[in-house]
């Protein structure tokens, strides 16, 4: 069970594998435990937090230390700059320091002002302060108008 609003994802079988429709990528993708969390979290951002679908990307490529990596979800501002990076884990995976370290490494390249992690049960979001080299853990995921308004 996950701690996100219920929705009815499109799921189908293909050659014995379950697939789920990713409305952002506009295609069916393998239904893994992490993907289940991603689709529910993105639905939450879209329907509850007013994030525009056109400003969210899933599986965004980046380079870190010369290696190609993929950020699970990136939210962009109206200029196309990263506002928030989101990292997902399966609901059976605890959110640990290692998870935060992973998204922080990705953010060395992206320099987004917000970072979020979720395993579908627990969700954390922090706001970065690059000037002071600190971050502040937020009580909840900000609504998009609030998030975008602070970074214009």
The whole model's pTM is what?
Answer: 0.92
3-state SS class at 58: strand
pLDDT at 67: 73
Share of the chain above pLDDT 70, in %: 97
| Mean pLDDT confidence for 107-125 | 93
Beta bridge partners of 10: none
Quick one: 21 exposed, middle or buried, by C-beta within 10 A (0-12, 13-18, 19+)?
middle
Give residue-wise pLDDT tens across range 78-101. Answer: 999 999 999 999 999 999 988 888
Whether pLDDT at 151 is above 70: no
CA–CA gap between residue 129 and residue 151 (Å, rounded): 12
Give residue-wise pLDDT tens across range 32-68. Answer: 999 999 999 999 999 999 999 999 999 888 776 777 8
The sign of the CA dihedral 141, 88, 96, 98 is negative
Return the ∠ at Cα 89 (arms to 86 and 102), rounded to 5°: 60
The answer for 133, left when phi > 0, alpha when psi is -120 to 50, beta otherwise, is left
Selected from 1.10.3720.10, 3.40.50.720, 3.90.1570.30, 3.80.30.20, the CATH number assigned to the domain covering 11-149 reads 3.90.1570.30
């Amino acid at each position: 069970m996950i701690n996100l609003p219920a929705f009815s994802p499109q799921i189908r079988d293909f050659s014995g594998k379950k697939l789920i429709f990713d409305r952002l990528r506009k295609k069916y993708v393998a239904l893994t435990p992490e993907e289940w969390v991603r689709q529910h979290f993105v639905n939450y951002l879209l329907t509850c937090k007013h994030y525009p679908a056109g400003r969210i990307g899933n599986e965004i490529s980046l380079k870190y230390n010369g290696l190609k990596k993929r950020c699970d979800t990136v939210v962009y501002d109206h200029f196309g700059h990263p506002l928030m990076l989101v990292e997902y884990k399966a609901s059976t995976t605890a959110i640990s320091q290692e998870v935060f370290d992973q998204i922080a490494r990705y953010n060395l390249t992206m320099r987004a002002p917000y970072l979020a992690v979720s395993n579908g049960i627990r969700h954390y979001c922090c706001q970065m302060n690059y000037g002071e080299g600190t971050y502040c853990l937020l009580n909840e995921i900000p609504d998009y108008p609030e998030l975008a308004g602070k970074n214009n």
